Structure 1
Amino acid sequence: MDLSDLIDVPAIMPTLKANSKKQLLQILAERAASITGIPEREIFDTVLQRERLGSTGVGNGIAIPHGKLSGVKRITGVFARLDTPVDFEALDDEPVDLVFLLLAPEGAGADHLKALSRIARVLRDGETVAKVRGTHDATAIHALLSDTQGSKAA
């Protein structure tokens, strides 16, 4: 599974400004709503409910909030690079500046887990992450995230 299957250039926000985790999730839900046609509030509530189980801040300034919704037709992503990191209650207590929101159909099962694994693998690559942090261009970020060189086996 390639990340280009999950995310398109319009779903990338290269210079997002947010003051808090909640505001960040609201902005991501708004963009996801425009892409999926699902109400923003439904997306926000689903992602927030998942965050209450435990932060999806995985460390190194990266978060992968996710959720399953009945209205989602295919696994879909939204990516944001924040101008200023926000507290995300991450596992390492570091603020987050790269966020990949993943939405999946309720029946996605293993495909949802494969997509999460793929995102984590790409965002664990230090070279890719450094390049993403160094650009403000959505098309360039899309190319970096979609680069199959980043798909080395875990």
Structure 2
Amino acid sequence: MATDLSALLQGGVIIPFHEATSRKQAIHVLCEALSEATGIGARAIEDAVMERERLGSTGVGEGVAIPHARLSGLTAPVGGFLRLAQGVDFEAIDDRPCDLIFMLLAPDGAGADHLRALAQVSRFFRQAAVRDGLRKARNENEIKSLICKDPVVGG
């Protein structure tokens, strides 16, 4: 399996900078963008993601959150990345606000594929070099170059 996230961003989105001030607002921004990219209604995406959020935090620590959901209408997992100006509360396991948000959407019946993609995203964002690079990136191209290739071999 690829160790970068390029496959998940084919048909996905990158939002290099946004000033959302809450978890709900950050999720809304990504849902709207992924709706345009996938053709699935923003409300359906947001309802599915918020339902998952109610089950437990998707803030994985170190300023990273990975909100996710399974939806009908998708044929493959797709992702969207959002970098926030200031971190927002995602009730992360380390209690730190999250400023790097990667939303993962997967087909409704893709339990194993969804879990594999989620593990891939989690492993990717565990790398300090990735997080630091994303926070320093000045535009979408710089973010894309970090997300779509390994900055650290064996990270």
TM-score range, shorter chain: over 0.9
Equivalent position SS for 1:13: strand
Out of 6, 10, 30, the position equivalent to 1:4 is 6
Deviation, 1:9, is 8.7
Deviations 1:23-45 (A, max 9, x none): 11111100010011000000000
Distance in structure 2 (CA, Å) of the matches to 1:136 and 1:27: 20
Letter in 1 for 2:25: Q
Matches within 5 A, 1:16-27: 16-27=18-29
Partner of 1:56: 58
Q: In structure 1, what residue type is equivalent to 2:6? A: S
Q: 2:77 aligns with which of 72, 75, 81?
A: 75
| 1:88 and 2:90 matched | yes
The aligned runs of 1:35-50 (5 Å cut-off) are 35-50=37-52
Helix, strand or coil: the match of 2:76? coil
- Structure 1 segments unaligned to the other structure (5+ residues): none
Residue in 2 that maps onto 1:119: 121
Please, which of 60, 66, 69 is the counterpart of residue 68 of structure 2? 66
Find the aligned partners of 1:132 and 1:148 in 2 and give their Cα distance.
Answer: 13
RMSD across aligned positions (CA)? 1.6
Runs of 4+ in 1 over 4 A off after TM superposition: none
Identity of aligned residues (%): 46
How many Å apart are 1:151 and its aligned residue?
Answer: 6.3
Deviates more, 1:141-150 or 1:58-67: 141-150
May I ask how many residue pairs the two structures share in their alignment? 153
User: How far apart are residue 136 of structure 1 and its match?
Assistant: 2.5
Assess if the C-alpha contact under 8 Å between 2:67 and 2:101 holds in 1: yes
SS class of match (1:71): coil
Q: Look up the SS of the partner of 2:24 in the other structure.
A: helix
**1:20, distance to aligned residue in structure 2 (A):** 0.7
The code of the aligned residue for 1:54 comes to G
Alpha-carbon spacing, 1:149–1:131, altered in 2? closer, same or farther (3 Å): closer
State the one-letter code of the partner of 2:86.
Answer: T
> Please, what TM-score do these two structures have when normalized by structure 2?
0.93
Distance 1:111 1:56, change over 3 A: same
Give the unaligned 5+ runs of structure 2. none
Distance 1:50 1:9 in 2: 22
